[in-house]
Amino acid sequence: MSHERSSRVEAALLVALLVGSVLLPAAVAPASGADAGDPAGPHAVESGGLALQQSGANASGNETPTRHANPDEANEDGDLGAVESHLASQLARRLGDSAVQLEEGEADRARQLLGDDFADAMSKYAEVADENGNEESAERFRKAQKNQEEYASTVQEYRETYKEYQKAKENGNDQRARELARELNRLAKKSNRTANELNESFGELERSTGGDFSQAADSVNDVQSNISAQQEEVNEAEFVRTELEVEADDDSASFSNPLSLSGRLTTEEGDPVADEEVTFRVGEQNYTATTDEDGDFSLSYRPTAIPKNASNVTVAYVPKGNEPYLGSNATVDLAVEQENATIELDDVPEGAAFGERVNVSGTATIDGEPVRSAPVTLAVDGRRLGTVVTDGEGRFAFEARLPANVPAGERSLTVGSANDSLAVVAEPAEANVTVEPTPTNLTLSASQADDGELAVDGRLTLANGTPVDGQTVELRVDGRTVGMVQTAANGTYQGTITLPSDIRERDRITLVAVYADRGTNLADSRASTGIPLAAFDPTEELLSWDSLSRAEKALALFVPPAIIALLAWAYRRWREGGSADGSEATPEVAPDADDGEDHPTPTGPSGFSIARERLLEGDADGAVEAAYVAARRRVAADFDVSPNGTHWEFFRACRTRGLDDRLDSLRRLTERYELAAYGREDTAMDRARETVELAASLVTRGDHASTDGGRTPTPEFDESSEER
């Protein structure tokens, strides 16, 4: 081994020993804390996001440590496979512990186990997994984390709503009890769906990592079994089961040739649901029909948004909140014939710039007949800006924001089918729109770090200060590119640059930041700064993490946990020895963790402006969260509701304050906030825009004026299927 190679190995050992010495005080506390009720129990000793997991208790109750690969046995090129396996076991254990806590009724603790510590371990795992070419495994862990967070929130909401239901029953409030029972039914179905998705995530992780997720899956299944059994009792007490029979007059249909349906709605015992105005969902549309004295009804169905290759269509009875019935389904055979609709544009802007609204409206018809429930998409220069669904009169309206990735100049605006495989499609209607360039402003600051690299930061904004995210800024010296950085949601960027050796030898340089993307409608901008360069010793690179080989990194990662495990074992042996001598070791009791949830904090009157600014920034989830917080503050003030508590606790508090027609909107807003804050997928931009307007409508219904100067009509989304 060469002198340089020896120095590099010594550097790796030095890093490991330094980390081990820093983590030394933490080696004792977890061992004591385990006895004090730490959910990890004696199975783990954690420090800095790393853990040595122990499992496999023998018949006598003694635990045997899991065997780990010796990094000294790694080949010359390095083998981080054992490191990846070790970190994966940490993540798996936390997922398992979280599921167990949820089963034991500790939903807050279940979510805490998937919080910052999990994120830290996840970050380390992702880096090692990426090095080993296993990026998909890291993504599966993230998916499982989001699924489990969503499941824990749903289960907690179900349990809290069930307590309300029991209280209403005790007070003899039968109508309130039935409303809560309907809500419980919705939550039970949601939790069952989320549990299935979570178990799928566990299965994917078992196949990709070889880990054991059986305990986590068992806990989730036990929780869901309890909810299902409990909900069965609620349904039996509050509702009458129904049966639905439906027949079609033909086996094929199209929009122009609607399908005539007739059927009968009865109770499970055969009694007719007579003389009632009821709602049926056929495929993708809702219909209202009135039953006669025998429970018979009829309706006409025009297929619009079901797949053109569908072989059947589902008809579902959707009971209202105050009806004493449970929903029921029936299926009829159907062959769909696809038809073409005509789209006419009524209102199209002549021009637009980045962040400005692109308001477009029009109508979809077939032979003059309005096409309802048809999804249509708006695009400019081929970039999709949003999708909406036509209303009962076939009308649609877009209020999309122009993104940065539409180049300046005269561009084609189109409105057409969102999906060409549905029963109704449409050729795009076209118009021209002029996209104006938008001036930008770029800032830059830089300084030399201790390792000789340059630390740079700055911000890209519009001329009015609006941040611009997701854009690449090029860093140059004498016209030579030395680095690239990307702006974040708030328009800022930061990074480090390793200068070429010939530039590094200078006493002073001028660093130039350049933003120039011909694929956007944002104008070019640049900034520069002079930087004095200090003398740099190349031998300092020997101690940098990035300069180490994979084998050296593996060694540095494994040595600190090994030291911790050894010290923890010695400490336990010392304690056991003290007890054997008749002395009693007093464990240190770790203080309880704060189980409080982070609650939304009230915002100022500009809350909706903040939400719309985040839309402009492309931050869909942030826009939803800001809109929810602003609406919650106003509702709390208007109806004298405590602003504290979780989002669902706040919703339930509002039920008793006379919100009337606003309560359903608040429920939908709360659901969308939950998906944005805890959901496993990012919110779509058009969904976020609609949610911001939904939040504003909660305020305007009370004072007829938005807090930031008005609002636009909010399209209603039919979520009745969730109520069944």
Tokens, residue 328: 């029921």
Tens digits of residue pLDDT in 475-515: 999 888 999 999 998 999 998 888 888 888 888 899 999 99
Name the pairing type of β-strands 525-532 and 508-515: antiparallel
- Band of the pLDDT at 322, cuts 50, 70, 90? confident
Q: How far apart are the C-alpha atoms of 189 and 326, rounded to whole Å?
A: 13
327-354 mean pLDDT? 93
Q: How many CB atoms lie within 10 A of CB 80?
A: 21
Give the phi and the psi of residue 459 in degrees, each rounded to 5.
-150, 145
Q: What is the pLDDT of residues 124-169, one digit of tens each?
A: 888 787 777 777 888 888 888 888 889 999 999 999 999 999 999 9
pLDDT: is 341 or 635 the higher one?
Answer: 341
pLDDT tens-digit readout, 637-688? 877 777 767 777 788 778 777 677 788 888 888 888 878 776 656 788 888 8
Q: Quick count: other Cβ atoms within 10 Å of Cβ 483?
A: 19
- Separation between Cα atoms, residue 588 and residue 29, nearest integer Å: 7
Return d(Cα 299, Cα 278) in angstroms, integer.
12
Residue 278 has pLDDT above 90, yes or no: yes
Lowest mean pLDDT among 80-89, 312-321, 482-491, 701-710: 701-710
Quote the radius of gyration of the chain (alpha carbons, Å).
31
Residue 76 buriedness (CB in 10 A; 0-12 / 13-18 / 19+): exposed
pLDDT of 7-39, one tens digit each? 444 444 444 444 444 444 443 333 333 333 333
Residue with tokens 């109770």: 267
Tell me which residue has tokens 């504290």. Answer: 644
At residue 680, the pLDDT reads 55
Return all residues near 644 (Cβ < 8 A) that are at least 6 apart.
599, 650
Q: How confident is the model at residue 59 (pLDDT cuts 50, 70, 90)?
A: very low
User: 79-88, 526-535, 609-618: which range is least confident on average?
Assistant: 79-88
CATH classification code of 607-723 = 1.20.120
Is residue 587's pLDDT more than 50?
no
In angstroms, the CA 136 to CA 61 distance is 37
Q: Please give the CATH topology (third level) of the domain spanning 341-434.
A: Immunoglobulin-like (2.60.40)
- Work out the number of other CB atoms within 10 angstroms of the CB of residue 235: 17
pLDDT at 394 exceeding the cut of 80: yes
Confidence check: pLDDT of 692 > 70: yes
Of 52-56, 373-377, 452-456, where does the model show the most confidence? 373-377
End-to-end CA distance of the chain, in Å? 71
Mean pLDDT computed over 563-571: 64
Which letter does DSSP use for residue 303 in this model? -
Span 454-467, pLDDT tens digits: 899 999 999 888 89
Q: Is the pLDDT of residue 268 over 80?
A: yes
Q: Is the pLDDT of residue 75 over 80?
A: no
Extract long-range pairs of 605-609: CB within 8 Å, 24+ residues apart: 605/707, 605/708, 606/707, 606/708, 607/631, 607/633, 607/707, 608/692, 608/695, 608/696, 608/699, 608/706, 608/707, 608/708, 609/708
- Tell me the average pLDDT across 216-222: 90
pLDDT in tens, 525-560: 999 999 888 754 544 444 455 555 555 555 555 556
Q: Where are the domains of the chain?
A: 1-70+563-581, 79-238, 242-336, 341-434, 440-536, 607-723
Pick from 67, 228, 209: nearest CA to 137 = 209
Tell me the CATH architecture of domain 440-536: Sandwich (2.60)
User: Which has more confidence, 25 or 432?
Assistant: 432
Mean of the pLDDT values across residues 385-405?
92
Q: Say yes or no: do domains 341-434 and 440-536 share a fold.
A: yes
Look at residue 711 and tell me whether its pLDDT is greater than 60: no
Q: Are 383 and 359 in contact (CB under 8 A)?
A: no
Best mean pLDDT range from 84-88, 505-509, 611-615: 505-509
Domain 242-336: CATH architecture, name and number where available: Sandwich (2.60)
pLDDT at 450: 66
Residue 307 CA to residue 422 CA, distance in Å, equals: 4
pLDDT average, residue stretch 165-192: 92
Dihedral through CA 354, CA 360, CA 364, CA 370, nearest 10? Answer: 140
